Amino acid sequence: MKPQNYSRRTRYRAPAAWYSHISNRLGVFLTSFGLAPKDAVTLEVSGRRTGRVRRIPLLRTPLRGKNYLVALAGESEWVRNVRAAGGQAVIRRRGARPVHLIELAVDERPPIIREYLRGAAERSGAKAAANAARYYFGLRADPSLEEIRAVADYYPVFRVAYGRIGSNVLAQNPGLTNRASSSGK
């Protein structure tokens, strides 16, 4: 069975049915209870149409003391739901933590995507990292920042701010007030 291929240059790359089924059932269970790799988490966000909580397993990418989520499928359902929820969500891994997700500008994404690929090598080895670069981003193994920059527009990235919007989150994220007010959220 080939890995899920997200390398097409389109706004949204829907996963195969088999992948969605396995990922959304088994992946959510494993990540919610901390039984998956250390950076695997479950994102919970309200659905933009139904308001029902939607869950998806994701890999958290730590970089320079902050955590990020990379949308491999592009403008996926979870990305649209996070935007509609004004960034409010919950991350689960052996417990629930409220978060505010802040979408990064395209020019801020390449270092996080590179770290995502470096993390793949650390978690699963060089071959897995090369496959991640190829199947997820359409790039060669160990791509340069310039190569990543060329595809970054197709991969939304969110910084994770732990806690709901309030004085603590605003104090730790000074740019958040401007983004939240300018985007109407």
* pLDDT score for 184: 36
Q: What is the CA radius of gyration of the chain?
A: 16
The CA distance from 106 to 8, in Å, is 18
List, for residues 28-67, the tens digit of each pLDDT value: 777 777 777 788 899 999 999 999 999 999 999 999 999 9
Strand partners, 44: 55, 90
Pick the CATH number of 17-109+155-178 from 2.30.110.10, 3.40.50.1100, 3.20.20.10, 3.20.20.140: 2.30.110.10
pLDDT for 68-112, tens place per residue?
999 988 889 999 999 999 999 999 988 899 999 999 999 999 999
Partner residues linked to 97 by β-bridges:
91
Domain chopping of the chain, boundaries: 17-109+155-178
Give the residue among 184, 153, 156 at the shortest CA–CA distance from 79: 156
If DSSP codes are grouped into helix, strand and coil, which group holds residue 125? coil
Q: How many CB atoms lie within 10 A of CB 60?
A: 20
Predicted TM-score (pTM) of the model is 0.78
- The larger pLDDT score, comparing residue 140 to residue 182, is at 140
Q: What is the pLDDT of residue 170?
A: 47
